[in-house]
Amino acid sequence: MKNKLYILSFAVVLTGIGVLSLMPPSSGIELGEHDKWNHFIAYLVLSLNWCMIENKSKVFFLGLLFCGCYGLSLEYLQGFVPGRLPSWLDALANLGGVMSGFVLYYFMKRFE
């Protein structure tokens, strides 16, 4: 049951990031002035959710790759949304959040 909750949490975070990333700015949803921190935290949470689902090393690193590629893909797709522009700095914040989430989880497990 615990693993199902982690899977649900991962799916909700994944979907939320996708929806918020691909909404046109005219939607009225404003996430504040700290855009890069928002990216970093969103992908940190995404990667931590993945880590809670599976911690076997092969699947663990596939998740790292998946989360990183997801962030890069959404940044690319923003170029096709009216009023949005892809940003290399946002992509770096996404990747930084993913890497930080996996490193944080690794150290939490190591010192557990």
Q: Indicate the SS3 state at residue 109.
A: helix
Residue 41 burial class via C-beta count within 10 angstroms: exposed 0-12, middle 13-18, buried 19 and up:
middle
Domain ranges of the chain: 2-22+37-110
pTM for this prediction: 0.89
pLDDT digits (tens, 9 = 90+) for 48-79: 999 988 767 777 888 889 999 999 999 999 99
pLDDT for residue 60: 80
Tokens of 13: 């975070």
pLDDT for residue 31: 59
Instruction: Quote the CA–CA distance of 110 and 112 in Å, as a whole number.
Output: 6
pLDDT for residue 29: 61
